[in-house]
């Protein structure tokens, strides 16, 4: 007979509310900085277009995600050993302290940027503690028949927080850039105190020693690979990107060697950081693979849409560059709304019908939305764009909650923390990888078309040939990041009317709202075709993973009431086969 566990009906909602608050606050901080970077760079006195400052920009963007990706598995496994709630509570406290210190940055210029980067990394440690254990705490608290709904609400907070962060960052950065860090502090304080007072460890603990060698090789190996991705995007020497630089090649080599050593270690020790036998569970392996591919496809989408709106569409429609961050967040609301509608509903339906159909259909809709965006002109009609990004959000919501619940249901209770850590690591690694892949593809596309378009446009408006050639051959990544920041780079690149040999009327045209976006729109659309075609291919492969996940699968132990509930549901015309570990209940 399956082992019987007891679920407290009141406590499960306390656990859901608390973990959702933690995930929501952490995710907001991963996206709020996207919109606020122009205000941050102005506040600490840094010109983002100078080559040496691109690294600050990349680390502020990706450092948080990198730390999360590296640490979530270790911290999830640690939660299995010492208690998931204990690690979760500590994560809230670390996150809050880091938010306070970020807001109190006492330095300027490079020193101010380094302070922010370092404390963003610490903030990522707190976020990893929260993410690594939130799903496991939920699965411990909820019975099988309600986990999809719980995971759906939690996933809505996670993805919805991403887009709320965009709007919040746009509003707060107009007032003071420090507010984007202060805003997390009251929620962090409330969450820290509340979690210590209300949460309890109801899950199964594993009596095991910490896998120090596994943790070390995984952390250093994955860090090395992700650092290589960060620096691969930066220009190197005369190249528009640094993928062939000694630093990047060395980072990838060290990373691959150490990750290979990690897998060897995990297969040989008694208490591994990752129990690789989990990947023998079909539902876990296929669901994890689909989730990783979804993260890769989705991660770069957000950045491409922000560049599209802030750098091209909004200026072409008369918005000031200083206002574009806020309006980009507002115009992306259909994406958030689509996810908010589909996430909880799909989670609820997956509790009754399983994850396979919903998740596979969600990834299919996700791919179709990218296909639709391929045919949208750069200067689009907003309602067509809104409908497509809404469909993208619906597809993401249909996939995420059912898939997460199915993956967590498939693992032994004593390994839920480690499994949750694996899911969070795959998601964050996928996002960092996605940024590297999609930015690189976009840069490749722009490199082929932007310099010639810029040279022709500048000379047609009277810029001296030598100056036009110099500006046109500025590294493409600078133009891309300036668009990402909602910043017109031509005033800085052309320097002055006299140096460019243009009159004041021509200077006003060149540095106005429309000239640079008009130059960028055709090359950018060429890059979008490459990026979105890649996203379609990744989404389709992810859908295949989801489709081949097998029948509904629940790993023992489950409650006696859950078995009765599932049997009752099958007698009312719902799916009639549910796997319980090695048994099948009909």
Q: Which residues pair with 585 in a beta bridge?
A: 578
Confidence of residue 541 (pLDDT cuts 50, 70, 90): very high
Question: Residue 428's closest CA among 66, 163, 29, 63?
Answer: 66
Compute the mean pLDDT over every residue in the chain, rounded to the nearest whole number: 77
Residue 178 lies in a domain: yes
Query: Is 578 a member of any domain?
Result: no
For residue 47, is it within any domain? yes
Q: Span 228-252, mean pLDDT?
A: 77
Q: What is the domain count for the chain? A: 3
Q: Which of 233-237, 341-345, 385-389 has the highest mean pLDDT?
A: 385-389
Q: Is 244 a domain residue?
A: yes
In the chain, % of residues over pLDDT 70: 83
In a domain, 580, yes or no: no
Whole-number pLDDT of residue 384: 92
* pLDDT given at position 48: 65
Cβ contacts of 199 within 8 Å, gap of 6 or more = 14, 15, 18, 85, 88, 89, 137
DSSP string, 216-279: HHHHHHHHHHHHHHHHHHS-BTTBSS-TTSHHHHHHHHHHHHHHHHHHHHHTTSSS-SS-GGGG
Cβ neighbors of 134 (< 8 A, separation 6 or more) are 19, 22, 23, 88, 154, 420
Which of 505 and 35 is assigned the larger pLDDT? 505
Give ∠ CA 414-419-423 in degrees, rounded to 5. Answer: 165
Nearest to 58 by CA among 215, 231, 224, 201: 231
Q: Residue 510's pLDDT is what? A: 79
At 355-404, the pLDDT tens digits run: 788 888 988 999 999 899 888 888 888 999 999 999 988 998 888 878 87
Structural domain includes residue 429: yes
* Residues 431 and 515 grouped into a single domain: no
Q: Check whether residue 159 and residue 43 sit in a common domain.
A: yes
Buried b (16+ CB within 10 A) or exposed e, 95-119: bbbbbebbbebeeeeeebbebbbeb
Most confident by average pLDDT, 232-236, 415-419, 529-533, 553-557 = 529-533
Q: Are residues 438 and 317 in the same domain?
A: yes
Mean pLDDT lowest among 112-116, 263-267, 272-276, 390-394:
272-276
Q: Are residues 222 and 97 in the same domain?
A: no
Assess whether 389 and 509 both reside in one domain: no
The better pLDDT of the pair 111, 582 is held by 111
Owning domain of residue 417: 9-210+271-446+522-568
Task: For residue 72, tell me if it sits in a domain.
Answer: yes
Is residue 73 located within the same domain as residue 187? yes
Q: Would you place residue 8 in the very low, low, confident or very high pLDDT band (cuts 50, 70, 90)?
A: low
* 573 domain residue, yes or no: no
Residue 498 has pLDDT above 80, yes or no: no
pLDDT of residue 291: 87
Sheet strands side by side (includes 583-585): 553-554, 578-580, 583-585
**Domain stop point among 521, 538, 553:** 521
Q: Are residues 96 and 189 in the same domain?
A: yes
What DSSP letter does each residue of 321-375 carry, written as one string? GGGHHHHHHHHTHHHHHHHHHHHHHHHHHHHHH-SHHHHHHHHHHHHHHHHHHHT
Distance CA 147, CA 430 (A): 24
Confidence (pLDDT) at 387: 94
Query: 386 versus 230: which is more confidently predicted?
Result: 386
The tens digit of pLDDT for each residue in 49-79 reads 666 677 777 788 778 877 877 777 777 777 7
What is the pLDDT at residue 580? 41
Q: What's residue 569's pLDDT?
A: 43
pLDDT exceeds cutoff 90 at 315: no
Please name which of 321, 306, 259 lies closest in space to residue 438, comparing C-alpha atoms: 306
Residue 85 has pLDDT above 70, yes or no: yes
> Are 160 and 289 found together in one domain?
yes
Residue 61: CATH number of its domain = 1.20.1250.20
Higher pLDDT, 226 or 379: 379
The residues, ordered by sequence, that sit 6+ positions from 381 with a Cβ below 8 Å of its Cβ are none
265 and 126 co-located in one domain = no
Q: How high is the pLDDT of residue 71?
A: 79
- The pLDDT tens digits of the residues spanning 98-152 come to 999 998 988 888 788 889 989 998 998 888 888 778 877 877 777 766 766 676 6
Is the domain of 221 the same as that of 334?
no
pLDDT grade, residue 204 (50/70/90)? low
Pair (172, 290) in one structural domain: yes
pLDDT in the model for residue 152: 67
CB proximity list for 111: less than 8 A, separation 6 or greater: none
- Domain's final residue, options 270, 286, 318: 270
Same domain, residue pair 327 and 363? yes
Q: Give whole-number Cα distances, 394 to 232, 298, 343, 384, 386, in Å.
A: 33, 13, 8, 15, 12
């Amino acid at each position: 007979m399956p082992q019987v566990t007891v679920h407290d009906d009141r406590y499960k909602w306390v656990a859901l509310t608390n973990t959702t608050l933690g995930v929501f606050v952490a995710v907001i901080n991963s996206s709020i900085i996207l919109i606020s970077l122009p205000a941050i760079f102005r506040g600490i006195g840094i010109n983002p277009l100078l080559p040496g400052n691109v690294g600050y920009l990349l680390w502020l963007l990706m450092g948080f995600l990198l730390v999360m990706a590296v640490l979530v598995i270790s911290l999830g496994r640690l939660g299995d050993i010492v208690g998931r709630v204990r690690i979760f509570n500590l994560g809230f406290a670390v996150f809050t302290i880091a938010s306070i210190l970020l807001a109190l940055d006492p330095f300027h210029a490079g020193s101010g940027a380094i302070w922010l980067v370092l404390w963003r990394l610490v903030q990522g440690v707190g976020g990893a503690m929260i993410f690594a254990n939130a799903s496991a705490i939920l699965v411990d608290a909820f019975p099988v028949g309600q986990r999809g709904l719980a995971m759906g609400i939690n996933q809505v907070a996670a993805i919805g927080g991403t887009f709320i962060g965009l709007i919040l960052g746009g509003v707060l950065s107009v007032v003071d850039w420090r507010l984007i860090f202060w805003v997390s502090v009251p929620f962090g304080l409330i969450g820290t105190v509340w979690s210590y007072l209300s949460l309890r460890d109801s899950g199964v603990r594993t009596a095991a020693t910490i896998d120090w060698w596994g943790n070390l090789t995984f952390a250093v190996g994955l860090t090395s690979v992700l650092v290589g991705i960060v620096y691969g995007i930066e220009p190197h020497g005369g190249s528009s990107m640094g993928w062939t630089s000694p630093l990047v090649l060395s980072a990838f080599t060290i990373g691959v060697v150490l990750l290979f050593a990690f897998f060897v270690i995990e297969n040989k020790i008694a208490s591994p950081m990752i129990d690789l036998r989990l990947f023998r569970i079909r539902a876990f392996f296929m669901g994890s693979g689909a989730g990783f591919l979804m993260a890769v496809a989705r991660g770069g989408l957000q950045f491409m849409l922000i560049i599209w709106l802030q750098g091209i569409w909004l200026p072409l429609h008369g918005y000031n560059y200083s206002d574009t961050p806020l309006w980009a967040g507002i115009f992306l609301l259909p994406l958030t709304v689509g996810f908010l509608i589909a996430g909880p509903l799909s989670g609820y339906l997956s509790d009754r019908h399983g994850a396979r159909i919903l998740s596979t259909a969600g990834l299919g809709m996700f791919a179709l939305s990218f296909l639709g965006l391929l045919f949208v002109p750069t200067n689009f009609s907003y309602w067509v764009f809104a409908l497509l990004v809404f469909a993208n959000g619906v597809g993401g919501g249909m996939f995420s909650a059912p898939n997460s619940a199915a993956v967590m249901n498939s693992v032994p209770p004593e390994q839920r923390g480690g499994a949750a850590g694996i899911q969070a690591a795959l998601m964050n690694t996928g996002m960092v990888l996605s940024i590297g892949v999609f930015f690189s593809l976009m840069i490749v596309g722009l490199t082929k078309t932007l310099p010639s378009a810029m040279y022709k446009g500048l000379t047609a408006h009277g810029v001296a040939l030598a100056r036009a050639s110099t500006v046109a051959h500025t590294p493409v990544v600078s133009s891309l990041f300036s668009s990402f920041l909602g910043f017109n780079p031509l005033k800085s690149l052309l320097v002055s009317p006299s140096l460019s040999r243009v009159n004041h009327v021509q200077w006003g045209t060149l540095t106005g709202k429309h000239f640079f976006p008009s130059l960028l729109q055709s090359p950018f659309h060429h890059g979008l075709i490459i990026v979105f075609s890649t996203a379609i291919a990744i989404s389709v492969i992810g859908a295949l993973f989801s489709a081949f996940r097998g029948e509904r699968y629940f790993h023992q132990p489950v409650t006696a009431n859950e078995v009765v509930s599932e049997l009752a549901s099958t007698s009312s015309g719902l799916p009639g086969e549910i796997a319980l570990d090695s048994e099948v209940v009909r």
